[in-house]
Amino acid sequence: MVTERGLQVLRAIVQDYVDTHEPVGSKAIVERHAFDVSAATIRNDMAMLEDEELITAPHTSSGRVPTDKGYRVFVDHLAEIRPLSPAQRSAISTFLADPQDLDDLLARTVRLLTQLTGQVALVQYPSFARANVTHLELVALEPSRMLVILVTDTGRVSQRIVLVPAVLEEADVALLRAQLATLVTGRAVGAGSERVAALLGQAADPGDRLSETLRELARVVGEELAEFRQNRLVMAGAATLARREQDFRGSIHPLLEAIEEQVTLLRLLSEMQPDDQGLAASIGRENEAFGLGDASIVASDYDSRIGTARVGVMGPTRMDYPSNLSAARAVARYLTRLLDEDAARR
């Protein structure tokens, strides 16, 4: 059983190893930390930590480094979440102020978070399955090219250019707009998708140019609504993996593949268990089932009117957990506030 002082020795080892990237010995702990005991006593504490598999020696006669289990104990019981500096908080409020829409806000969020932490930043879109479509617009760009715009009450905006099979007059555009709006406007995304699918399931009238155009536009609207219902991630900072490659025990290629495919990271984020502050961490070998056993992810929940999603960072197990958790929590709280203010204006 690890003593209270032993746990504090573990804290010192984690902090020093993160700072120096060098194995930590008993002499260094005595010099850097105020334990008021001898190096021999610290060595005994380190031996108990090693018996509990919380630290390990990477080389014979070297100092000790934390194991994944040691990082877990540190995060769960020993890490003190560091408050951000006034300059960092000011940077968050300035960088995220006055976004054009939700897409812009989340794109800014990951750029900011990777700047604050030096890690890969991730932000999960809220699920839009329960969002309501508030507006549908058709804009004729050319006689046979149409811009389709969808807006939800959560601030999500979709814009897509469609080639239509007929040359349209202004009155035709107005009629098509009204017909499509009847299907989806004022309805939940899921209900709108069902009504669009029902229209497309009806027999087509090949001789009616407006009917063909309506079906083509409805097909695109259906695809955009389906996109709204899918879980999505926005990411930034993948280049930091190359700069930190030496911090990983193995290859960074599984991480790069996860970033490219997104599905793995979405599953991992959704399965992470938050604490009572909405903070969650998944460390090293806890991620082996996802092929990411050399990485850690820390995240914080943020709230929107349609549900909770997550924002966080991914990097090596040797990361600054207190600072990264603090940055994720601060950004998540600011996101929640911005989305609350936006909802109140609608």
As a 3-state breakdown, the chain gives helix, strand, coil percent values, each rounded to 5, of 50, 20, 30
Lowest mean pLDDT among 104-108, 207-211, 223-227: 207-211
**Would you list the DSSP string of 186-205?**
TSBHHHHHHHHHHHHTSPP-
Instruction: Pick the last residue of a domain from 204, 229, 254.
Output: 229
Q: What is the mean pLDDT of residues 296-318?
A: 90
Clarify whether residues 116 and 238 are in a common domain.
Answer: yes
pLDDT at 203: 79
Clarify whether residues 120 and 236 are in a common domain.
Answer: yes
Domain count of the fold of the chain: 3
- Cα–Cα distance between 131 and 152 in angstroms, integer? 6
Q: How many CA atoms lie within 13 A of 314 on its CB side?
A: 31
- Cβ–Cβ < 8 Å for 67, 53: yes
Clarify whether residues 73 and 107 are in a common domain.
Answer: no
What percent of the chain has a predicted confidence (pLDDT) above 70? 97
- Its sign, for the CA torsion 16, 17, 18, 21, is positive
Instruction: Pick the last residue of a domain from 229, 258, 283.
Output: 229
Which residue segment(s) compose the domain that 43 sits in? 4-78
- Cβ–Cβ < 8 Å for 30, 72: no
Clarify whether residues 279 and 330 are in a common domain.
Answer: yes
Q: Which residue has the higher pLDDT, 138 or 34?
A: 138
Clarify whether residues 253 and 297 are in a common domain.
Answer: yes
How many Cβ atoms sit within 10 Å of the Cβ of residue 164?
Answer: 24
Q: Which residue has the higher pLDDT, 63 or 231?
A: 63
CA distances from residue 185 to 100, 127, 175, 279, 301 in whole angstroms, order as listed = 22, 18, 15, 37, 30
Give 83-106 pLDDT, tens digit per residue. 888 999 999 999 998 888 888 999
Q: 1 pLDDT exceeds 80?
A: no
Instruction: Pick the last residue of a domain from 214, 229, 244.
Output: 229
Write the CATH number for 113.
3.30.450.40
Assign 139 to helix, strand or coil.
Answer: strand
Q: Please state the pTM of the whole predicted model.
A: 0.76
Clarify whether residues 224 and 236 are in a common domain.
Answer: no
Pick from 301, 151, 300: which is nearest to 228 by CA?
Answer: 151
What percent of the chain has a predicted confidence (pLDDT) above 90? 58
Q: Which two tokens stand for residue 101?
A: 């829409």
Clarify whether residues 194 and 339 are in a common domain.
Answer: no
Clarify whether residues 250 and 335 are in a common domain.
Answer: yes
- Cβ–Cβ < 8 Å for 109, 311: yes
pLDDT at 42: 93
User: What is the dihedral angle through the alpha carbons of 271, 272, 278, 279, rounded to the nearest 10 degrees?
Assistant: -160
Residue burial 24-46, b: 16+ Cβ < 10 Å; e: rest: bbbebbbeebebeeeeeebbbbb
- Cα–Cα distance between 100 and 263 in angstroms, integer? 27
Rg of the chain, C-alpha, whole Å: 26
What values do phi and psi take at 157, rounded to 5? -125, 135
How many Cβ atoms sit within 10 Å of the Cβ of residue 219?
Answer: 15
Tell me the pLDDT band of 270, cut-offs 50, 70 and 90.
confident
Q: What is the mean pLDDT of residues 78-82?
A: 83
pLDDT at 251: 83
User: H-helix or E-strand containing 48?
Assistant: helix 39-51
Write the CATH number for 179.
3.30.390.60
Give 155-171 pLDDT, tens digit per residue. 778 899 999 888 888 89
Clarify whether residues 65 and 119 are in a common domain.
Answer: no
Q: Which residues fall within 8 angstroms of residue 262, CB to CB, at 6 or more apart? A: 232, 233, 235
Q: 311 pLDDT exceeds 90?
A: yes
Clarify whether residues 122 and 235 are in a common domain.
Answer: yes
Tell me the pLDDT band of 344, cut-offs 50, 70 and 90.
low
- Cα–Cα distance between 126 and 217 in angstroms, integer? 26
Tell me the pLDDT band of 129, cut-offs 50, 70 and 90.
low
Clarify whether residues 254 and 316 are in a common domain.
Answer: yes
Write the CATH number for 51.
1.10.10.10
Clarify whether residues 241 and 280 are in a common domain.
Answer: yes
